[in-house]
Amino acid sequence: MAVRAAVAGASGYAGGEVLRLLLAHPEVEIGALTGNSNAGQRLGALQPHLLPLADRVLDETTPEALAGHDVVFLALPHGQSAAVAEQLGPDVLVIDMGADFRLKNPADWERFYGSAHAGTWPYGLPELPGARAALEGSKRIAVPGCYPTAVSLALYPAYAAGLAEPEAVIVAASGTSGAGKAPKPHLLGSEVMGSMSPYGVGGGHRHTPEMIQNLSGVAAETVRVSFTPTLAPMPRGILATCSASARPGVTAESLRAAYEKAYADEPFVHLLPEGQWPATASVYGSNAVQVQVAYDAEVDRIIAISAIDNLTKGTAGGAVQSMNIALGLDESTGLTTIGVAP
């Protein structure tokens, strides 16, 4: 029997991307689609690339509209998911693509999001040690932020193998869809085109505690993180350039071996051949992650770089991958590692 899935926030970027993937998922039947200011609109007017759903009309995001589904995806702004989720029964698989249930430490949530912490759900980054076991059979999943996905997959093997000192420096470039669909002055075409610019500099970005949580979770101690995001003139993609001092005795060979071991059996993470570097264009529209690592002997540092599509592996693809695990389906069902080029 088909898995019946509803999407709340179907008019937004994350909601649109999860619908694109669910349309190609052989086990899923798409149920209710809800919006907020766009309730009552045809989906075809908002997401014209989702042709098979063009004539579906968005409902208001209410418990009644979302009732009667096996899975409900919440693609809502931060802070909006908890109130909706608590009205959905314990037997429904609720997958939150927002931040509400990602962090374990309430103080981190309060500091970076400025409201009361709603709780912590199993974390939808299956590649992290122990994550798959927590997702199997779960009825609640917190999908990671897009930057933490890219950064954690670039750096976790180095920390899990005890090769990196506990202070990581990260500079990551994101496409503009990471900021959502709602109009914002700094995202005007004339501001973004032909320019790259940093934001959230100096430890202010809300994804920093999520990165610390993930890296410290595999390391022998708390990892400190300096994170600088930048906005790149492209619609999709994240390129995360991460570095940390190498522990004494680390060599290029031992580093490579740690990454080969971590990613040998991962269906979506591709450790590139030596000398080849990740590129956002290679993972456009796919759930693949490209990773490369190098040892810079001049400064005794580990340099790890990853590329993802922020909307696919960084949000909706990670959500579908985690749904598959929770439901006992093959993890790769409905997902592709095939990109679009040029």
Ligand X SMILES: CC(=O)N[C@@H](CCC(=O)OP(=O)(O)O)C(=O)O
Task: Give me the least distance between CB of 332 and ligand NDP, in Å please.
Answer: 20
133 binds, among ligand X, ligand NDP, none (CB under 5 to 8 A by kind): none
Q: 146 or 160, CB closer to ligand X?
A: 146
How many residues in the shown chain lie near ligand NDP by CB under 6 A? 30
Query: Cα separations (Å) of 177 from 6, 233, 312?
Result: 22, 10, 11
Bridge partners (DSSP) of residue 94 are 72, 140
Distance CA 223, CA 221 (A): 6
Options 74, 146, 250, 307, the catalytic residue = 146
- Scan residues 110-129 and list those touching ligand NDP (CB under 6 A): none
Q: Could you tell me the two tokens for 298?
A: 């001049």
Q: Nearest-CA neighbor of 302 among 313, 312, 291? A: 291
Q: Establish whether 146 is a catalytic residue.
A: yes
Residue 146 engages ligand X in binding (rule: CB under 6 A): yes
Q: Of the listed pieces 31-39, 107-115, 174-182, 279-287, which binds ligand X according to CB under 6 A? A: 174-182
Sequence length of the chain is 342
Task: Return the closest-CA partner of residue 151 out of 321, 315, 289.
Answer: 289
Would you count residue 161 as binding ligand X (CB under 6 A)? no
In this structure, the strands spanning 301-308 and 238-246 are antiparallel
Decide if residue 182 touches ligand NDP (CB under 6 A). yes
Q: Please, which of residues 72-111 interact with ligand X by CB under 6 A?
A: 99
CB of 129 to ligand NDP, least distance (A): 22
Helix (H, G, I), strand (E, B) or coil at 293: strand
Q: Residue 85 is inside which H or E element, if any?
A: helix 81-85
For the bound state, the minimum distance from the C-beta of residue 145 to ligand NDP, rounded and expressed in Å, comes to: 6
Helices 252-263 and 146-160 sit at what angle, rounded to 10 degrees?
120
Q: Which residues bind ligand X (CB under 6 A)?
A: 99, 145-146, 174, 178-179, 229, 231
Binding site for ligand NDP (CB under 6 A): 9, 11-15, 35-38, 61, 75-78, 80, 97-99, 145-146, 177-178, 180-182, 310-311, 314-315
Give the active site residues: 146
